[in-house]
Amino acid sequence: MGFETTKELERLELTFVHVIKRSKYACRQCEEGVRTTPGPDRPFEKGLLGTGFLSYLINERFGNHMPYHRIEKKHAREGVDVSRSVLERSVARCAARLEPIYNLLVEKFRAADILFTDDTPVTIASPEDRSSGSKKGRIWIYLDRMGNHAYDFTDTRKKDGPAEWLGDFKGFVHADAYPAHYQFFGPDAATEVACWAHTRRKFVEAESTEPKLAAEILSRIRELYALERIAKDNELDDAARGQLRQEKAVPILGDLRAQLALLEMQVLPQGPMGKAIAYAMRQWQAMTTYTSDGRLSIDNNAAERALRAIAVGQKNWMFFQRESGGRTAAILFSLLKTAEAAGIDPLIYFRDILVRIDRERDTAKLLPFAWKENFAAEVAERRQAAVALITSK
């Protein structure tokens, strides 16, 4: 009578011991000693964890925000005894191994002409100087239009970190109104592109005290964003987007500035509306810069989204134990998020580059977007062949 077929989605998680057996040879005639057959490529000689496990570990820690103690417990339930100290050291070794790729990623930003940047605080539980208990460090994001992500870690929020990135930069920088950034902006330096999303929040906060005035201003801001949606929905190129802004956004901005200048004399300076207007007027030139070039963005939301991984992750792993943990996170977050932006599965990407980095002379080919172009098809073919071999038995 035939069959009735039912499908269900199932999942198999498996950690196994990969036994590598290599032949040993010796010559009775020449007695030159014992020779051992070369083994497969491995990221670390005599390392406990294989490339598949290391790739999985990096993704669990920085992609899924799992703290080491939870990963340890998860594998203990499966009967796998691997301590959190081993996990942490292994991830740090991976970051050190992949640091040359990260350094090349950083160099790409030196040559860029448009950047997005922002920062978020992180806790350092046991600072290396031992001067106190925990302290606050910062994770900075530098993002380009293509989707390359470069995270940087500093143990303070002083200007030293941004100075290394923006000191000689001459292009456009989408940033928030962080005072330490202002020294990098000027006629012969970088050009500030301020964030309308931040300005909008100021007027949203003022709705509780001046609802009518706030509603009028927010309506104007919505008109600006509506133009951006039109450009996106119609897939306008940079030139057409710039032209649309000049024709439509610039008049709206002119009316809005006149309205703000009038209201500034009518509201209390220290009230929420007064502070919102003062903020907008101080930032006005930087907030209107986006209309001068269709490549620019109306806000800095791209950088804020890139930092969301840090904010979400911190709710799980809570802190970096030491400053070195911040450096490890910056390297691996950068490669993982750039791989995601390139449409690459980070599990596949890390598994390949951990061993390929030793034999690839042109390290630039291992950057995520370049790796996708040069090696993704080859790796996919090998994976399909391996799956076919396993399932045929």
What's the mean pLDDT in 2-17?
83
Rounded Cα–Cα distance for residues 83 and 71 (Å): 9
Beta strands 172-174 and 191-193: pairing type? Answer: parallel
CA atoms within 13 A on the CB side of 111: 6
Higher pLDDT, 182 or 393: 182
- The pLDDT tens digits for 32-41 are 778 887 777 7
Q: Which of 88-102, 143-157, 255-269 is most confident?
A: 88-102
95 to 62, 100, 147, 300, 356: CA distances (angstroms)? 12, 9, 21, 28, 15
Rounded Cα–Cα distance for residues 375 and 380 (Å): 9
Confidence at residue 115, expressed as pLDDT on a 0 to 100 scale: 92
Q: Which of the four pLDDT bands, split at 50, 70 and 90, describes residue 30?
A: confident
Q: Which two tokens stand for residue 380?
A: 């996919």
Confidence at residue 102, expressed as pLDDT on a 0 to 100 scale: 96
Nearest in space to 193 (alpha carbons), one of 170, 219, 165, 172: 172
Q: Which of the four pLDDT bands, split at 50, 70 and 90, describes residue 131?
A: low
What's the mean pLDDT in 88-115?
92
Whether 121 has a pLDDT exceeding 70, the answer reads: yes
- The pLDDT tens digits for 346-362 are 999 999 999 999 888 99
pTM of the model: 0.86
Confidence at residue 33, expressed as pLDDT on a 0 to 100 scale: 77
Whether 267 has a pLDDT exceeding 90, the answer reads: no
Confidence at residue 116, expressed as pLDDT on a 0 to 100 scale: 94
Confidence at residue 21, expressed as pLDDT on a 0 to 100 scale: 83
Q: Is there a contact between 62 and 313 (Cβ–Cβ < 8 Å)? A: yes
Whether 130 has a pLDDT exceeding 70, the answer reads: no
**Residue in this structure with the two tokens 């801001």, named with its chain if needed:** 221
Q: Which two tokens stand for residue 325?
A: 């943990």
Confidence at residue 129, expressed as pLDDT on a 0 to 100 scale: 67
- The pLDDT tens digits for 293-341 are 999 999 999 999 999 888 888 888 878 888 888 899 999 999 999 999 9
Within 8 A by CB and 6+ apart from 249, the residues are 224, 227, 291
